[in-house]
Amino acid sequence: FRVGVMDRFGLSYEILHARNPRLVYASIRGFGDPRTGLSPYADWPAFDIIAQAMAGLMSITGADVDHPMKVGPGIGDIFPAVLSACGILAAVHHVTQTGEGQLVDVAMADSVLALTERIVYQHSITGVAPEPQGNTHPLLCPYGLLRTADGFVAVASPTDNHWRALAEAMGRPELGSDPRFATNEARVAHSSTVYAEVEAWSSTLTTDEAVRALTGLVPCGPVNSAADIAADEHTSARHMIVQVPHPSGVPIDIVGAPIKFSATPTEAFVRAPLLGEHAALFLEPAFDRTRP
């Protein structure tokens, strides 16, 4: 909700805090709650793409400055929720220590800026605003996607040891000691030549062949689709796809818990509730009509 909506509903932080001083009240808006810092955009509505654009993420994503691009997943929606959950846990801990609840405020734009923190310190140090790098890295090389005979393979070989291992796997050990490529700084300076040399090798192999050639030597992996992920042994071993019932009667797959605990099970999943399905469960205790 935008600023003022909860106040009009009689559900402001101040009203609920007065009823229950131990209450932890979380708020997520595009540009934050005025109580924690009044943004000039406080009244603006926002969605994921707005947060990605205004927090600078789109300015460094894409092929070049003329084609800014949003990140695929809706991280402008998802990451604020993750940070809000962290904030709620911290605030609950504060309640156990002091008995006092508080407001936990997260702005979508602030959250995405926290993800793109590199652009802040780079601009501060160099005075230059970072620009899109495509799938490469401005400070590491090689670090990106390589074309294969049937697709792509992701390779990260920024350390000198990894570079020498990659050169050996390519059957080009002399590249490991070539002064143009011997250090990461040198490879960044000659990045176009580095990628040309490596892709001349990778493009002769299928993605599976390239991964097999590099596994255990150089960090690498295929570019997986949803179907690839569903069939991947890693996914099943880590219980990262689970089935839940659906009101339609047909079970659906959802992503499992990425955080695993040695003592706390994470296998219990339920479907998302229907709209308003649990409203009474939460609202009735909070609004005791016997109270003034």
Give the distance from CA 24 to its chain's centroid.
25
Please name which of 2, 105, 107 lies closest in space to residue 44, comparing C-alpha atoms. 2
* Crossing angle of helices 117-126 and 108-115, rounded to 10°: 60
The full length of the chain comes to 292
Which segments of the chain does DSSP mark as H helices, in order? 5-8, 13-19, 48-54, 75-98, 108-115, 117-126, 160-169, 184-189, 191-202, 207-214, 226-231, 233-237, 279-286
43 residue type, one letter: D
Please name which of 138, 135, 159, 130 lies closest in space to residue 146, comparing C-alpha atoms. 135
Residue linked to tokens 């229950």: 20
Q: Would you call 228 a catalytic residue per the annotation?
A: no
The tally of CA atoms less than 13 A away on the side-chain side of residue 200 is: 10
Residues 33, 64, 66, 77: which is the catalytic one?
77
Contact (CB, 8 A) for 186 and 175? no
Residue 169, C-beta contacts closer than 8 angstroms, at least 6 positions apart? 213, 214, 217, 218
Please name which of 200, 191, 181, 195 lies closest in space to residue 173, comparing C-alpha atoms. 181
Positions marked active-site: 77
